[in-house]
Structure 1
Amino acid sequence: MTESVLLFEPSLWSVIQVSDRDRLTFLHNQSTQAFRQRQPGEVCETVLVTATARILDLAIALIDQEAVWLLVSPNRQADLLQRLDRYIFFSDQVAVSDADSTLAVLTLVGDGTRSLLHTVVADALPEITESQHATLAIAGQSVQWVNYSGLRLPGSLLLVPVRGLAAVQAALQTAGAQPATAEQWELLRIQQGRPAVDRELTEDYNPLEAGLWHTLSFDKGCYIGQETIARLNTYKGVKQRLYGLELTTIPSQLPAPLSLEGEKVGVLTSAIATATGAIGLGYLRTKAGGAGLTVDCEGQPATVVNCPYLHHTYFEPESSGVPR
């Protein structure tokens, strides 16, 4: 029997399509990740930022033969489309468009994901890493499979033609995938530490503070927000960092202040109840400490913990790559 696999509906993601000859150079210049040398079939995460490196959104990019698909937050898609379009100059051969009418994203999370996919694909499942995508045939539809759940948990993302979405969903459920709720995703993302828009991803923060070091390229040259990010890394100037928190209770409202010995040292940005107690995510002043610290949240103790998705290691030029 297939191990439990959760199936999340497309509401978690919107899709932006970036096409035409200069698409990789354009994204290289507009986001934190290196794109110029990427090849069809590759996948990476990148952050779209302002000129001062403030966060607009965290995106998953699928590079294909004729386009790049950006999986973005639904409530940021319209703003991102406008911002990206603003940076297309007369000589650029780039087209940016809303792909939600043609493509939808299904999210699978669970140890049994690969076994489940084996039962629904028409051919053998290819061997790919979480940094790659491949084409699968499911329920007569050509589906782009990403061997990555968006979390540091086993799972997959499936980019599905909208016209065949119902058929693919039905095939997955028949194979044992269990329809999941937005609340279940919220629990998983907080446990893992994946930041969300309007909570941890706002223009109040930058990608280094948000623990998104794996989305940054420090040797690709100039891009929007590069100067600020490079300076913060060079001078080790990150003043606050995103952590998980084990809470006593959920605060009355969010964001909620975090304090230490009567002094505010951070802010709780997300919280949810679990079977064993409440958990959350929040930014903590770097000088206050990190994992293991106990802070106050509305008069109750909260313990600071590390999360699998988040990393806070400065990039050293002599190292071989960005810490993950």
Structure 2
Amino acid sequence: MKGNRESRVFTRALELDIDLPDIDLDLSSLQDDQGAHIEDGIPVSFGNDTEALEALESGVVIIDHKHWGRLRVAGEDRLTFLHGQSTADFLAMQPGRGCSTVFVDRKGRTIDLALCLIQANSVLLLVSPSRRKALLSRLDQYIFFGDKVEVSDVLEQTVQLRVAGPGSDGLLQSLGAAGLVGQPEGSHAVFGAGSEPVVIAVGSGFSAQGYTIVASEGAAAEFWQRCIKQGAVPMGERAYEQARISYGRPAADNELTEDYNPLEAGLQTAVSSTKGCFIGAETLSKLNNLDAVKQQLWGLHLAASAAPGDLIMDGEEKCGKITSFTTLPDGQHVALGYVRCRSRGVQVDLEGKQVTVNGGSARLVRTPFATHMEGSTQAVKDQQ
């Protein structure tokens, strides 16, 4: 992976308790042996969706997200450049730290939510699969003459894994990465796996406790194998999608689109209110200062099946739209959707509100991931 030498500057040659990968060890072969159903290189399921969802709640899972995007931003002006391109305060970041940030357009509409890892001489951006090429093109477009910035795509040189669940701290400790336990999201270090580097960052990508790992193919395969031996349950993409919706993590092409802004998506913690100018700042600042957010992303528990695009109704009146839907292994129907959150000019508390979708009953619920704006006025229960 590019940038290995620079990263070792501030990691003090930390070592993981895993062996040098075998020359013929590859991740797909391990997953085949574990019963993975793979489509387009992505493990859809290991035939254990119920077990994996239970392990996410009470144990630890490991997820293969090698199809997620990974971009490297280098050059002397990299932090100033990224500071102006997204919502986080990059100028306050130090090597070994990181943050979530939102890339938005000039109208403040969402492009993607990214995890950024600040290394000694570069920044690693972990982005959604469908946004990698667009963000690479966008960042290249905003590099002006004289800017000392280089952006490269490191997807092919790396693999991205995630471990999540209450047992993830113990798993990391058993592998020799105990120093990351209890650190803020985005904190990371580079460890050695034999002669190969492994970047481990705090944060699972959604609100479940966990870590994100970026490594070469061989080191990632060895890491996967060691985690499985330590009791981690492999989770396929189908179960991950069910967990994502249950936890309320917005996804590109569903909740993260040009139809919505980060404040509506519950991404307040990724939007700095004190930094200087950035693309979309004027709109987001106005929405925040004037308490002008009109809709919010909420979870829904439904009595019947639904689909993205279905309307959410409050009596005879449309009040929102479904953006993601899934049925859990236990038969429970859950969804995410944007719902109008103002009544008579006042922000209302929607928690527990009864609505209908396709004529069936549904209830609005808070999700662990979203952080809703409380507004400048006291939120009140909607009595309508």
TM-score, normalising length: structure 1: 0.91
Work out whether 1:38 is the aligned partner of 2:93.
yes
Q: Secondary structure at the residue paired with 1:36?
A: helix
Contact 2:204 2:212 in 1 (8 A): yes
Shift of residue 150, structure 1, vs aligned partner: 1.5
Query: Structure 2 stretches of 5 or more lacking a match?
Result: 1-54, 377-384
Q: Deviations over 1:181-210 (max 9, x none)?
A: 111111211111110011100000000110
Contact 2:60 2:163 in 1 (8 A): yes
Deviates more, 1:38-47 or 1:153-162: 153-162
Tell me the equivalent position of 1:268: 322
Contact 1:106 1:157 in 2 (8 A): yes
Paired with 1:314 and 1:183, the residues of 2 have a C-alpha distance of: 33
Tell me the equivalent position of 1:157: 212
Letter in 1 for 2:245: I
Instruction: Name the count of aligned residue pairs.
Output: 313
Shift of residue 106, structure 1, vs aligned partner: 0.5
Shift of residue 314, structure 1, vs aligned partner: 5.0
Tell me the equivalent position of 2:308: 254
Paired with 1:241 and 1:93, the residues of 2 have a C-alpha distance of: 39
Shift of residue 101, structure 1, vs aligned partner: 1.6
Tell me the equivalent position of 1:175: 230
Question: What are the within-5 Å matches in structure 2 for residues 195-274 of structure 1?
Answer: 195-251=250-306, 253-274=307-328
Rg: which structure is higher?
2
Shift of residue 142, structure 1, vs aligned partner: 2.0
Work out whether 1:313 is the aligned partner of 2:373.
yes
Tell me the equivalent position of 1:142: 197
Deviates more, 1:55-64 or 1:132-141: 132-141
What fraction of aligned residue pairs are identical, expressed as a percent? 38
Contact 1:16 1:69 in 2 (8 A): yes
Paired with 1:12 and 1:296, the residues of 2 have a C-alpha distance of: 36
Shift of residue 174, structure 1, vs aligned partner: 2.1
Work out whether 1:8 is the aligned partner of 2:63.
yes
Work out whether 1:189 is the aligned partner of 2:244.
yes
Contact 1:139 1:167 in 2 (8 A): no
Shift of residue 286, structure 1, vs aligned partner: 1.2
Tell me the equivalent position of 1:298: 358
Shift of residue 160, structure 1, vs aligned partner: 1.1
Query: Structure 1 stretches of 5 or more lacking a match?
Result: 317-324
Q: Deviations over 1:5-45 (max 9, x none)?
A: 21110246210111111110011000011101210011100
Q: Secondary structure at the residue paired with 1:291?
A: coil
Question: What are the within-5 Å matches in structure 2 for residues 63-78 of structure 1?
Answer: 63-78=118-133
Deviates more, 1:288-297 or 1:14-23: 288-297
Contact 1:21 1:93 in 2 (8 A): yes
RMSD: 1.8
